[in-house]
């Protein structure tokens, strides 16, 4: 049973790795056009239920993999186009989004596979230990690798550092993640070679909106 379930782990991980597309679009809609959230939630629900009904008899459990892959792709492309037109112009930075993340993920997997292979005893105890280590303790390693492969620039890294101060009980983990990224960026030959060109404009807009909010509160 475990071996049969393990077959589905890789495709599920691949599907889940692209959830950031959906999450990013949702955040944009929450901030600017909240009614779009209702529309896309309904679309996602109807499309998911409809495809599951059509495919479940033919492909059985495999349909549960095909359906989220299709719905995620449809939502991502539609949301990108809608956000670009009705929220704000969208910019896609290949290296930060896919390049550095893919390299860091591959290296992280290879290192984790090698390390856990040394301690696995083919029993439940070491399996649970490996799962806990992979889910939590190995995060700083990935953060270091992402910084090493040039995923950060000075502005965005500093913004990330300031953002960690807003966290509550998870602040130690957030700060550890930040310092791991910072350490990787320090030794990275690619650091700063892939700048975020809209950072200055975005910072000015954020400051203007903050001043307007302050003015409303004072009035």
What is the rounded distance in angstroms from the CA atom of residue 87 to the CA atom of residue 30?
10
144-168 average pLDDT score = 92
115-137 average pLDDT score = 81
Q: 209: how many CB neighbours lie within 10 A of its CB? A: 10
82 pLDDT more than 90: no
Nearest to 99 by CA among 139, 148, 138: 148
Are 111 and 65 contacting, i.e. CB atoms less than 8 angstroms apart? no
Token readout for 194 is 């892939």
2 pLDDT more than 60: no
Q: What is the pLDDT of residue 218?
A: 67
101-106 average pLDDT score = 92
**Greater pLDDT, 177 or 212:** 177
Are 142 and 134 contacting, i.e. CB atoms less than 8 angstroms apart? no
Give the domain ranges of the chain.
1-90, 94-219
Poorest-pLDDT segment among 49-58, 101-110, 123-132: 123-132
pLDDT digits (tens, 9 = 90+) for 10-24: 777 777 777 777 777
In the structure, what pLDDT confidence band is assigned to residue 61 with cuts at 50, 70 and 90? confident
Mean pLDDT of the chain: 83
In the structure, what pLDDT confidence band is assigned to residue 31 with cuts at 50, 70 and 90? low
87 pLDDT more than 80: no
Helix, strand or coil, per DSSP, at residue 102: helix
Q: CB within 8 A of 161, min separation 6: which ones?
A: 178, 182
204 pLDDT more than 70: yes
In the structure, what pLDDT confidence band is assigned to residue 120 with cuts at 50, 70 and 90? confident
What is the rounded distance in angstroms from the CA atom of residue 154 to the CA atom of residue 32?
28
Residue with tokens 């009980």: 169
126-148 average pLDDT score = 86
Most confident of 70-74, 174-178, 200-204: 174-178
48-68 average pLDDT score = 84
156-161 average pLDDT score = 92
- The single-letter DSSP state of residue 193 is S
Poorest-pLDDT segment among 34-38, 89-93, 209-213: 209-213
3 pLDDT more than 60: no
Q: What is the pLDDT of residue 187?
A: 95
Are 164 and 126 contacting, i.e. CB atoms less than 8 angstroms apart? no
What is the rounded distance in angstroms from the CA atom of residue 201 to the CA atom of residue 197?
8
């Amino acid at each position: 049973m475990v071996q049969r379930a393990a077959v589905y782990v890789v495709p599920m991980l691949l599907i889940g790795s692209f959830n950031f597309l959906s999450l990013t679009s949702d955040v944009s809609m929450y901030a600017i056009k909240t009614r779009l959230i209702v529309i896309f939630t309904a679309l996602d629900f109807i499309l998911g239920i409809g495809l599951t009904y059509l495919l479940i008899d033919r492909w059985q459990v495999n349909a549960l993999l095909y359906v989220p892959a299709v719905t995620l792709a449809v939502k991502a492309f539609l949301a990108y186009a809608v956000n670009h037109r009705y929220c704000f112009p969208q910019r896609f930075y290949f290296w930060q989004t896919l390049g550095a993340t893919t390299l860091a993920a591959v290296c992280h997997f290879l290192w984790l596979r090698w390390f856990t292979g040394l301690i696995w005893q083919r029993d439940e105890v070491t399996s649970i230990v490996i799962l806990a280590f992979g889910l939590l303790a190995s995060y700083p390693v990935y953060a270091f690798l992402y910084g090493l492969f040039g995923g950060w620039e000075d502005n965005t890294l500093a913004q990330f550092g300031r953002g960690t101060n807003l966290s509550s009980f998870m602040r130690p983990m957030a700060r550890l993640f930040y310092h791991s990224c910072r350490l990787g960026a320090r030794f990275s030959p690619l650091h700063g070679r892939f700048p975020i060109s809209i950072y200055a404009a975005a910072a000015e807009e954020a400051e203007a909106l903050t001043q307007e909010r302050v003015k409303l509160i004072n009035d």
